[in-house]
């Protein structure tokens, strides 16, 4: 199904006012880094200790700055003719014009950039209209935090990826023996509400025994767990309470384009706190991601169809969180595809 160009541009415009994760802070050291966000090529660099994001385009002849060099930690130098830019995006050196004034137009566009949770975030709008998705467990000493993981790029839109994490009724079919049991297909009772610019949902269900839901010996085959999901349009923080303790998955999705999504993810837990156990929890989350991925990438249309179109036949009460999430996106003006 062909996606109209105006829908794609409207989708980009609607998401441009949000902060999006684009790279690990640890990957931004001595060399510039090229990334894509909302189908725009950006270059990241650390200049004077600050992470900055520019249009990946030298003002001279349009060469990619991402293949250039960081000079003395202060300037980003183009590989083609040596034009160098400071952290504001202003050109401060043109080797072929030394001794003469640098044209005022010799500057590249800089975008809003921040660092949080070990991630570089970029907002493409003139002014950000939303906050970076909260992750309170990141600095909470009660929680052991695993390493930052990335998944993808997925061949899917951000809302499709977020909905895959929000949707619990697929657990028995996509994640049998891990998150669900086909002999227990009945959906839980959901509560959904909005708070402080976020969408929240909660429910209680039975989940198969694994290290994230139970501890000790003589563990039951199915353990009672309660989820509380905290959403922004592009992120989800799943807080799971069980006999084991509290287990959190924080997941922020970066819209590389309208049909490509890169996922940044952390796990945090109040139990089994040894770092030596992190690989086991990572393998479990990797398996869940890989089970979701082919299903999500198969969904059509690429962008969500409007609720009013009834192209997707949501059912109540099972799909209440998904209905609420999509209704919220529509209210925020994030376009849907007819």
Residues in Cβ contact with 321 at an 8 Å cutoff, skipping those fewer than 6 apart = 166, 167, 168, 190, 192, 201, 229
Q: How far apart are the first and last CA of the chain?
A: 10
Asked whether residue 6 is domain-assigned, the answer is no
Residue 210 confidence (pLDDT): 85
Average pLDDT, the chain: 95
Q: What number of other Cβ atoms are within 10 A of residue 98's Cβ?
A: 8
Torsion over CA: 308, 313, 317, 321 (sign): negative
Rounded to an integer, the average pLDDT of 77-104 is 97
Confidence of residue 3 (pLDDT cuts 50, 70, 90): confident
At 302, the pLDDT band (50, 70, 90 cuts) reads confident
Quote the pLDDT of residue 271.
96
Name the domain boundary from 60, 88, 123: 123
Q: How far apart are CA 198 and CA 300, in angstroms?
A: 26
For the question of whether the overall pTM of this predicted structure is more than 0.85, the answer is yes
Residues 186 and 301 in one domain: yes
Average the pLDDT over each of 116-130, 205-219, 268-282 and give the range with the smallest value: 205-219
Average pLDDT over residues 196-213: 93
Please say which residue of 101, 123, 145 terminates a domain: 123
Total domains present in the chain: 2
Task: Give domain status of residue 60, yes or no.
Answer: yes
Contact 108, 55 (CB under 8 A): yes
The 3-state DSSP class for residue 136 equals helix
153 and 117 within one domain: no
Instruction: Give the confidence band of 213 by pLDDT, cuts at 50, 70, 90.
Output: confident
Residues 171 and 272 in one domain: yes
Q: Strand, helix or coil at 256?
A: strand
Q: Is 240 helix (H, G, I), strand (E, B) or coil?
A: strand
Q: How far apart are CA 168 and CA 328, in angstroms?
A: 19
Question: Are 126 and 19 contacting, i.e. CB atoms less than 8 angstroms apart?
Answer: no
215 pLDDT band (50/70/90 cuts)?
low
Confidence (pLDDT) at 115: 98
User: How many residues would you count in the chain?
Assistant: 338
pLDDT at 216: 62
* Number of Cβ within a 10 Å radius of residue 191: 12
Largest Cα span, the chain: 80
Q: Is residue 72 part of a domain?
A: yes
CB atoms within 10 A of CB 211: 16
């Amino acid at each position: 199904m062909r996606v109209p160009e105006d829908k794609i541009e409207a989708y980009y415009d609607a998401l441009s006012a949000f902060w999006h994760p684009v790279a690990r802070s640890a990957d931004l050291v001595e060399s510039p880094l090229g990334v894509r966000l909302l189908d725009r090529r950006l270059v990241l660099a650390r200049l004077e200790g600050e992470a900055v994001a520019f249009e990946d385009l030298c003002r001279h002849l349009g060469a990619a700055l991402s293949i250039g060099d960081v000079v003395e930690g202060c300037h980003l130098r183009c590989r083609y003719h040596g034009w160098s830019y400071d952290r504001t995006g202003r050109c401060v050196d043109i080797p072929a014009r030394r001794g003469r004034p640098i044209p005022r137009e010799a500057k590249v566009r800089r975008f809003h950039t921040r660092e949080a949770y070990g991630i570089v975030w970029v907002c493409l709008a003139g002014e950000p209209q939303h906050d970076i998705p909260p992750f309170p467990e990141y600095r909470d000493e009660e929680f052991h935090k695993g390493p930052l993981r990335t998944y993808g790029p997925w061949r899917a839109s951000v809302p499709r990826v977020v909905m895959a994490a929000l949707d619990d009724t697929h657990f028995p079919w996509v994640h049998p023996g891990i998150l669900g049991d086909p002999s227990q297909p009945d959906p839980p009772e959901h509560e959904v509400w909005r708070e402080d610019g976020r969408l929240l949902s909660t429910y209680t269900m039975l989940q198969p025994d694994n290290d994230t839901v139970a501890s000790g010996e003589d563990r039951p085959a199915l353990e009672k767990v309660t989820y509380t999901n905290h959403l922004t349009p592009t992120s989800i923080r799943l807080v799971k309470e069980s006999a084991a303790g509290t287990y959190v998955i924080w997941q922020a999705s970066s819209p590389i384009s309208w049909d490509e999504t890169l996922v940044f993810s952390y796990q945090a837990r109040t139990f089994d706190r040894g770092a030596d156990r992190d690989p086991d929890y990572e393998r479990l989350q990797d398996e869940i991601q890989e089970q979701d991925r082919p299903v999500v990438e198969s969904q059509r249309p690429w962008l969500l169809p409007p609720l009013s179109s009834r192209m997707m036949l949501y059912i109540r009460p099972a799909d209440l969180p998904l209905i609420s999430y999509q209704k919220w996106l529509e209210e925020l003006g994030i376009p849907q595809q007819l």
